[in-house]
Amino acid sequence: MEKKLIVKQVRSTIGTKPKQRDTLRALGLRKINATREHADNAVIRGMIDKVKHLVEVTEKK
């Protein structure tokens, strides 16, 4: 069974760089408190690392 990550946006994109805003959009996050479930792989981990100051990540069991 594949591991899942739950990504939640906790900070606003106001004042962030355009690449960071694009990364949040690619993760499926548009508003504060929005959550999305993603597969736990290197691509998603890299995207989360770019915006780690804007999101909160938990592992789904």
Residue pLDDT, tens place only, 22-46: 999 999 999 999 999 999 999 999 9
Looking up residue 20, the CATH number of its domain turns out to be 3.30.1390.20
Distance CA 31, CA 13 (A): 9
Report the pLDDT averaged over residues 48-60.
Answer: 97
Distance CA 61, CA 32 (A): 24
Range of the domain at 50: 4-60
Residue 13 reports pLDDT greater than 90: yes
Structural domain tally of the chain?
A: 1
Confidence of residue 1 (pLDDT cuts 50, 70, 90): confident
**DSSP β-bridge partners for residue 39:** 4
